[in-house]
């Protein structure tokens, strides 16, 4: 210990940093490091006052006193750029929401490209079991401003109803139902296609029925009006023969007039339906819809059916396939985020078969006020 102290002067930092003799042990190294640190501290403490003053002066120049003043600034955006941004947002085509698998049916008339479209040919039943469902795919291409979204789903259900009467048979109705649906949007086009089969028994007869529906739409242009043209094709089976011990009439389960129009003159049974429609956004909260539809019977052997599923008397086995033609105009207006108004007018021109049993042309005018939260 004494030898190490004599080799390393305490007050000379230059000599401490240039030790000629190597340290022979950990103890010697720790002692040398401690002595070096102490020498540096003493050297800094006893430096000349002029040097300390110079250091303080530099610190004052580098670190100015703090201030609470905030320098204001302004951003100027050209009005043309804001108008262009508003136009781009208005023309942006967002992907459809994923269709909701719900046991209850919402109104078909409320469907839009950005709203899940409810089933047209059958209500989701409380006893329904979901058998299978494909994955939902959504993709964006910002460079081309194209969106794509589609959904494929399958449903199975059981329907029970007692004391049912059809033109050719009556009894307790038991139907096993299977449906497949494919809906989506790609670019300017959107679609909703579904098909349903019904099997089972009613009384002593077997049930073999089917239905299908397809709606294809195209949105034209990029203006704020955004006209959308739609083509709708529907078909539902009717009873082929009253003597074959089999019922082929499709049961729409819980039918709604929104299948075709809110007037609801006919229903989804023994039917072939073709409709051409145009929808446009006149104002930010106003949507206008107009369309022309033509209806036929799927088979003349079965009756013409009115809502909910009532056969028109004396039409089974009589007349022609043609049922009638209708024109529709509808306006939907969102008054507030919770209140929606609607006005609809429909003129239905009936065919000769309906006229022969006492039917006639008719007009429908309806007004709606809906409140939601």
**C-beta separation of 326 from 346 below 8 A:** yes
Can the peptide bond before residue 308 be classed as cis, meaning omega within 30 degrees of 0? yes
Find the angle CA(127)-CA(246)-CA(254) to the nearest 5 degrees.
Answer: 35
pLDDT at 207: 96
Q: What is the pLDDT of residue 67?
A: 63
Q: Taking the mean position of all CA atoms in its chain, how far away is CA 154? A: 18
- What are the residues facing 147 on neighbouring strands? 140
- What residues contact residue 69 under an 8 Å CB cut-off, 6+ apart? none
* Coil vs helix vs strand at 126: coil
pLDDT at 64: 54
Q: Buried b vs exposed e over 315-347: b needs ≥16 C-beta within 10 Å? A: bbeebeeebbbbebebebeeeeeeebebebbbe
pLDDT, tens digit only, all 373 positions of the chain: 444 444 444 444 444 444 444 444 545 544 555 554 444 444 444 444 444 444 444 444 445 555 666 666 677 778 888 888 887 777 766 655 444 333 333 333 333 333 334 455 554 343 333 333 333 333 334 434 446 788 999 999 999 989 888 888 889 999 999 999 999 999 899 999 999 999 999 988 999 999 999 999 999 876 678 899 999 999 999 999 988 999 999 999 888 777 788 888 899 999 999 999 999 987 888 999 999 999 999 999 999 999 888 899 999 999 999 999 999 999 999 999 899 999 999 999 999 999 999 999 999 999 999 998 8
Please spell the DSSP secondary structure of 57-70, one letter per residue.
HHHHHHSPPP----
- The values of phi and psi at residue 327, to 5°, are -120, 145
Q: In this predicted structure, what is the pLDDT of residue 78?
A: 83
> How many CA atoms does the CB half-sphere of 109 hold within 13 Å?
25
CB-count exposure of residue 306 (10 Å: 0-12, 13-18, 19+)? middle
């Amino acid at each position: 210990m004494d030898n190490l102290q004599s080799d390393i002067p305490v007050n000379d930092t230059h000599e401490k940093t240039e030790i000629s003799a190597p340290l022979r042990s950990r103890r010697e190294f720790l002692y040398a490091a401690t002595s070096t640190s102490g020498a540096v501290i003493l050297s800094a403490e006893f430096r000349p006052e002029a040097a300390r003053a110079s250091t303080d002066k530099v610190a004052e120049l580098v670190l100015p006193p703090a201030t609470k003043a905030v320098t204001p600034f302004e951003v100027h955006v050209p009005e043309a750029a804001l108008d262009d941004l508003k136009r781009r947002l208005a023309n942006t085509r967002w992907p459809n929401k994923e269709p909701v698998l719900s046991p209850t049916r919402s109104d078909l008339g409320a469907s839009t490209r950005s709203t899940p479209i409810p089933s047209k040919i059958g209500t989701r039943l409380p006893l329904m079991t979901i058998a299978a469902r494909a994955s939902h795919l959504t993709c964006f291409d910002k460079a081309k401003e194209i969106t794509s979204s589609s959904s494929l789903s399958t449903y199975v259900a059981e329907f029970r109803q007692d004391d049912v009467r059809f033109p050719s048979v009556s009894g307790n109705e038991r139907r096993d139902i299977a449906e497949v649906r494919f809906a989506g949007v790609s670019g300017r086009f959107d679609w909703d296609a579904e098909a349903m089969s019904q099997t089972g028994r009613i009384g002593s007869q077997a049930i073999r029925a089917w239905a299908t529906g397809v709606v294809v739409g195209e949105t034209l242009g990029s203006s704020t009006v955004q006209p959308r043209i739609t083509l709708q094709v529907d078909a539902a089976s009717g009873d082929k023969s009253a003597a074959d011990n089999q019922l082929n009439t499709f049961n729409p389960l819980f039918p709604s007039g929104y299948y075709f129009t809110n007037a609801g003159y006919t229903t989804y049974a023994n039917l072939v339906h073709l409709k051409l429609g145009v929808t446009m956004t006149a104002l930010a909260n106003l949507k206008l819809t107009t369309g022309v539809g033509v209806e036929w019977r799927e088979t003349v052997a079965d009756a013409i059916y009115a809502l909910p599923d009532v056969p028109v008397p004396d039409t089974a086995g009589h007349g022609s396939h043609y049922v009638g033609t209708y024109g529709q105009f509808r306006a939907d207006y969102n008054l507030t985020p919770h209140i929606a108004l609607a006005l609809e007018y429909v003129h239905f021109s009936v065919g000769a078969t309906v006229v022969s049993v006492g039917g006639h042309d008719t007009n429908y005018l309806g007004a709606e006020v809906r409140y939601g939260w």
